[in-house]
Chain A
Amino acid sequence: MDSIFDLKNKNIIVTGASSGIGRQCAITFSQLAANIILIARNRERLEETFNRLNKGNHLFISQNITNYDRLEDIINTIREKMGKISGFVHSAGTEMTLPLRSMTSSYYENMFAINVISGFELARIISKKKYLDENGASFVFISSVMGILGQAGKVGYCSSKGALISGAKAMALELAKKNIRVNCILPGVVETEMSNKMFESLPKESKKSVIDMHPLGLGKPNDIAYACAYLLSDAARWITGTNLIIDGGYSAR
């Protein structure tokens, strides 16, 4: 039975699809009948995600999306092989915990390149009429609850995730006339390879305090993927320029 929540006949691009939230998004969308285009740097892990997708017309592209000059070619290839694009989820991202005094300009540049600029560049290209589905599109940027709250040692990460939030709002206003909706999801700490790596770099007592900050405990990748699927579906027709916080109660305090 067709449901307003399914993603049938939608070609959806997911960056950061080789692990964590991006990987789960791709798998969940495929279960909702979407065609998925997976993008990430690590070919091996990308293939692993690809093999876990439900049957459909999917494609994987192993590319470093901070090579901005290559992005239009990628989108062009997708259009040729799959048709026009109706969804884009920017889940590629990197995390760093380091006090301000140890930050360097190159750390910021690297983090903004992956977390922010590559996503905005892809959005710019996908918005072109020649790539865009006639029924419009939905863009979702995976920000973070850290994009609206601060945390010591996270100046780079918080500011890059905050940039996604304000950029998405500006984009929502600009692209509404093209029937493109643009939203952010703000997860709390979700159990992924990235958060595990972060926990490894922290003393044990810090891990406990991070968990304790989430009244419902840490999140699972699907907690984010389901919400993402909703924002991509026609059920979210009237939602744009908004932030959906999914954090197990972290920010309720």
Chain B
Amino acid sequence: MKKREFIDELKDALEIEDKDQEITLETNLKDLEEYDSLSVLSIIAMIDKNFGKQIPSSDFIKVTTVSSLMELIGKKHFD
């Protein structure tokens, strides 16, 4: 998947509708007001749907930036 597409999927999962709100690889998810325990479940479902990977929510403790989330999924899945 292209990084841009992934960020769009992520914005969807986080319900960020503001097109102008910029999310980059360096954005710390924990700084986003939309990021909470329920949105983690949405992100898990999104990853399962797109990558066929079931990531336990306990793994999200170490997630900080978008880039670190991509590492958790596996860099090989991204162009």
Contact = CB atoms under 8 A, between A and B. Distances in A.
A203 B15 contact: no
B38 A203 contact: no
A29 to B, nearest CB: 35
A101 B40 CA distance: 12
Nearest to A202: B57
B56 A102 contact: no
Contacts of B61: 203
B42 interface: yes
A205 B44 CA distance: 18
Interface residues of B, number: 16
A103 to B, nearest CB: 9
Given A201-B56, A201-B57, A98 B37 contact: no
A201 B37 contact: no
A196 interface: no
Interface string A184-215: 00000000000000001111111000000000
Contacts of A206: 37
Nearest to A206: B37
A99 B56 contact: no
B66 interface: no
Contacts of A153: 38, 41
Contacts, number: 37
Contact of A101 (B15, B37, B56, B60): B15
Category for how many chain A residues contact B: 10 to 19
B69 to A, nearest CB: 16
Given A101-B15, A102-B13, A102-B46, A201 B38 contact: no
B37 A102 contact: no
Interface string B1-23: 00000000000010100000000
A201 B58 CA distance: 7
Interface in A73-102: 97-99, 101-102
A252 interface: no
A201 to B, nearest CB: 5
A101 B10 CA distance: 13
B73 interface: no
A98 B37 CA distance: 10
Nearest to A204: B58
A152 interface: yes
Interface of A: 97-99, 101-102, 152-153, 200-206
Given A101-B15, A102-B46, A202-B37, 14 more contacts: A98-B45, A99-B38, A99-B39, A99-B41, A99-B42, A101-B13, A101-B42, A200-B56, A201-B44, A201-B56, A203-B37, A203-B58, A205-B37, A206-B37
Per CB-CB distance, the 9 closest pairs between chain A and chain B, nearest first, are A102-B42, A102-B45, A99-B38, A153-B38, A99-B42, A203-B37, A201-B57, A98-B41, A206-B37
20 contacts: A97-B41, A98-B45, A99-B38, A101-B13, A101-B15, A101-B42, A102-B42, A102-B45, A153-B38, A153-B41, A200-B56, A200-B57, A201-B44, A201-B57, A202-B37, A203-B40, A203-B57, A203-B58, A204-B58, A205-B37
